[in-house]
Structure 1
Amino acid sequence: MAARKDEARTYLISVAAELAGMHAQTLRTYDRLGLVTPKRTSGGGRRYSQHDVDLLREVQRLSQDEGVNLAGIKRIIELTNQVEALQARVRELSDEVERLHAQRPKSTALVVWQPRNQR
C-alpha cells in the first residue's frame, strides 16, 4: 500500500504541538494512550506527520467541543480506521469485479436443444 502524501513531511514534537494547538506534554500523553502513534527516530524522538497533526486537532475537537472522554475518542479513532480499511477493501473488490467483467466473453448465451421423444 502506498504511503500517504502527507506522511513525507514530519515535525518535531514542539512544532506538532504548536500546529495542533496543544502542549508537547499532551502529545506525549496521547502517544502513551495510543491516540496517536508518531514515527520514531533511531534515537527515540517523536516525528509527527501532517496526518498525526490533523488527528490531534480532531482529538482536541472531540474532547473540548463534543465532551468525549479519551477512552471514547480512542474508540472513535479505532472505528474510523476500520471503516477506512473496509472502504479501501470494497474499492479493491469493486475494481476486481470490473476487471473480471471486462475479461469475460461478450456473448454468454447458451441454447439447450432436446429432440422430441420418439414413439
Structure 2
Amino acid sequence: MDEYAPVFAIAMAAELAGMHPQTLRQYDRLGLVSPTRTAGKSRRYSMRDVAQLREIARLSAEGLNLEGIRRIVELENQVAYLADRVRGLESALADEMLNRPGRRVFAAGSAGDVISLKAGTRLRRNTAVVVWRPLARGAVPVDDTDTD
C-alpha cells in the first residue's frame, strides 16, 4: 500500500492517531498536517499523515508548542523530499552510467554550469593572460588600441 494514498476519513484518521477529529481540523488549519481533499471537500488522510499526527502528539507531550512543532514538521518534510530527490538523481546517474560505460557523464563548465562531454573529450579552458599596469599619479590613461 502506498503510504501517501489518501484513504482515511477524518474519523478513522483521528482514531488511528489517538486524537479528536476537531484536533485534526485545527492542525489542518495551522498547516501541521495537510490532508488531500475529495471533490466534496472532505479531508482524506494517508498513512503518512497519520504517522505525522502521531509525531505531533509525541512532540506536544514533550512540551513543544505548536509553532515549534510546525517548524520541525516542515523541516522533516523538506528532508524527506530532498532524500527522495537524491535517490532519484542517483538512480538516473546509475542508469546513465550503465547505458554509457566508461564515459564521463558530465563536467562543470567555467560558469559552474553542468555540461555533457563525449568520451575522450576534455573541457577547453580560457588560458588568456591579462596584464594590468597601475597608472602613475596624475597620469592620464592613453587609448593605444587605435592605430590610425
TM-score category by the smaller chain?
0.7 to 0.9
| Residues 1:68 and 2:86 are matched in the alignment | no
Q: Cα RMSD over matched residues? A: 2.2
Is the radius of gyration larger for structure 1 or structure 2?
A: 2
1:1-119 matched pairs, under 5 angstroms: 5-8=2-5, 10-64=7-61, 66-104=62-100, 106=102
Q: Could you tell me how far apart the structure 2 residues matched to 1:70 and 1:16 are?
A: 20
Cα–Cα, structure 1 residues 89 and 27, in superposed 2: closer, same or farther, change >3 Å? same
Scaled by the length of structure 2, what TM-score is found?
0.62
| 2:9–2:44 contact (8 Å) kept in structure 1 | yes
Q: Could you tell me how far apart the structure 2 residues matched to 1:70 and 1:106 are?
A: 53
Cα–Cα, structure 1 residues 7 and 94, in superposed 2: closer, same or farther, change >3 Å? closer
Q: Could you tell me how far apart the structure 2 residues matched to 1:105 and 1:10 are?
A: 44
- Alignment-mate amino acid for residue 61 of structure 1: R
Scaled by the length of structure 1, what TM-score is found?
0.75
Q: Could you tell me how far apart the structure 1 residues matched to 2:100 and 2:5 are?
A: 41
- Alignment-mate amino acid for residue 59 of structure 2: L
Identity of aligned residues (%): 54
Q: Secondary structure at the match of 2:45?
A: strand
Q: Could you tell me how far apart the structure 2 residues matched to 1:63 and 1:33 are?
A: 14
Aligned residues: 105
Q: Structure 2: which 5+ residue stretches go unaligned?
A: 104-118, 121-148
Q: Structure 1: which 5+ residue stretches go unaligned?
A: 110-119
Cα displacement (A) at 1:13: 1.2
